[in-house]
Amino acid sequence: MSEIITHGGFRIGAGRKKLEATKVIRVPASRILEIKDYLNKPKKEVEISDVRQIDPITHLEIPLAVERVQAGFPSPAQDYIDQKVDLNEHLIRNANATFMVRVNSLSMLNIGLDINDELIVDRSLEPKHRDIVIACIDNDFTVKRLMIEGNERWLKAESPDFPDIHFNEGQTLEIWGVVTRVIKSFR
């Protein structure tokens, strides 16, 4: 007598467990092991202080006044709103490659970056000469201006109280992203 084996159909406990929604993303093949290691770390470890992924789903429109504001002598302004601006469209070029990070030093003070200013960083942009970048140097993160002259690259501080960073033999530099915007609080 042969045993009847059935395939398919509903079986209790079979199939993928539905813990939470998943999403497929593309990552460079060279970074797969690094990402797997990061995901396997205990949840209390944080590699970048106070980093927030920007939610590409939110939609917020605020009014945009037609008239520009004088920075010098005041002029009569019109109470006229022409259109609305979605801050996501205005501030973010590539939502899937964008994150925010807070400034934690005064090394970029001369270009207006203060402690706790929030930087919008796009990882999909190719860093160019004089871009403000988030860089990882020997596993330490910093925000500096990228300087490129021929084959030489260094990071320029925008404050006389901090040195520029020139690289020695064996040091590693990885550009994590290009700063595209700064959000500054005045109150």
pLDDT tens digits, residue range 140-179?
899 999 999 998 899 999 999 999 999 888 888 899 999 9
Say how far residue 153 (Cα) sits from the centre of its chain: 22
pLDDT for 44 beyond 90 = no
* Whether 124 is catalytic: no
Mean pLDDT across 92-115: 90
Q: Does residue 45 belong to any structural domain of this protein?
A: yes
Residue type, 162: F
Please report, for residues 7, 95, 120, 129, 175, the alpha-carbon distance to residue 39 in angstroms, rounded to integers and kept in the order given: 35, 21, 23, 33, 21
Answer yes or no: are the C-beta atoms of 141 and 135 closer than 8 Å. yes
Answer yes or no: are the C-beta atoms of 113 and 182 closer than 8 Å. yes
Q: Does residue 21 belong to any structural domain of this protein?
A: no
Answer yes or no: are the C-beta atoms of 60 and 87 closer than 8 Å. yes
pTM for the predicted model, two decimal places? 0.61
State the residue range of the domain holding 107. Answer: 32-57+94-183
Instruction: Give me the catalytic one of 144, 156, 159, 185.
Output: 144
Specify the pLDDT at position 155.
Answer: 96
Tokens 């501030």 sit at which residue?
Answer: 91
Specify the pLDDT at position 67.
Answer: 61
Tell me which of 37-46, 121-130, 158-167 is least confident.
37-46
Q: Does residue 152 belong to any structural domain of this protein?
A: yes
Instruction: Give me the catalytic one of 2, 43, 49, 107.
Output: 107
Q: Does residue 40 belong to any structural domain of this protein?
A: yes
Q: What is the DSSP letter of 70?
A: P
* Whether 84 is catalytic: no
Q: Does residue 125 belong to any structural domain of this protein?
A: yes
pLDDT tens digits, residue range 78-102?
555 567 777 777 788 888 888 899 9
Q: Does residue 160 belong to any structural domain of this protein?
A: yes
Q: Does residue 76 belong to any structural domain of this protein?
A: no
Q: Does residue 14 belong to any structural domain of this protein?
A: no
Confidence of residue 32 (pLDDT cuts 50, 70, 90): confident
Tally of domains in the chain: 1
Find the CATH number of the domain harbouring 46: 2.10.109.10
- Between CA 113 and CA 141 the distance in angstroms is 16
